[in-house]
Amino acid sequence: MNRDQKFGVSLLIFCVFLWFFIIPSEVINDKAALFFPQFITIWLAICAILLTLRSSQKTIKRIDKKELISRRGIIKVITLTIILLIYVYLIDFLGFFVTSFFLLLLLLLIFKVRNWIKLIGFPFVLLLFLYILIEKILFFPLPRGKFF
């Protein structure tokens, strides 16, 4: 299966699931209310079928030589997602500024910044700027935590 086929088949399965399970349970049983969600499902399903059919045509010898994503790439993306999710949950306890300081530090390390002055100085200066701009000038309160 090539890249487009994988996407087309996955989307088609999602559309079937949407039509038979999600729409009946998540949309009120009214003709007018059902019309647009069903219209979108048909739209997506047609695209998915055409995409799958097109990419499986024998006349089109399209080979995806390029790897969709490397193992290393997956690890990096998953790591960033986990970091961001932990960050959002920690904001409630530690507050925006403290949590963001550590987030920036981690992101700089991910982006291979190794100079300690830059690692500490950049988050500090950026967050100080944001504190003055958002809280002192625009008077918008950002989430506060136990420390700040």
What's the one-letter identity of residue 103?
Answer: L
On whether the CB atoms of residues 15 and 38 are closer than 8 A, the answer is no
Q: How far is 100 from 84, CA to CA, in rounded Å?
A: 10
Q: Which of 76, 93, 132, 148 binds another protein (CB under 8 A)?
A: 76
Indicate the SS3 state at residue 70. coil
The answer to the question of residue 117 lying near another protein (CB under 8 A) is no
Residue whose entry in the numeric block shows the structure tokens 């009120």: 28
Length of the chain: 148
The residues near 129 (Cβ < 8 Å, ≥ 6 apart) are none
With tokens 């403290």, the residue in question is 98
Task: Tell me whether residue 85 or residue 147 sits nearer to another protein (CB atom).
Answer: 85
Binding mask 84-103 for another protein (x = CB under 8 A): xx--x--xx---x---x--x
Interaction mask 4-43, another protein, x per CB under 8 A? x--x---x----------x---xxx-xxxx-xxx-xx--x
**Residue from 58, 65, 111, 116 in contact with another protein (CB under 8 A):** 111
d(CA 80, CA 86): 10
Compute the C-alpha angle 97/99/103, nearest 5°.
110
Q: How far is the CB of 146 from another protein (least distance, A)?
A: 16
- Give the nearest distance from C-beta 42 to another protein in angstroms: 9
Which residues in this chain contact another protein in the complex, by CB under 8 A? 3-4, 7, 11, 22, 26-28, 30-33, 35-37, 39-40, 43-44, 47-48, 50-51, 54, 59-60, 62, 68-70, 73, 76-77, 80-81, 84-85, 88, 91-92, 96, 100, 103-104, 107-108, 110-113, 118, 122, 126-127, 130, 134, 138, 140, 142-143
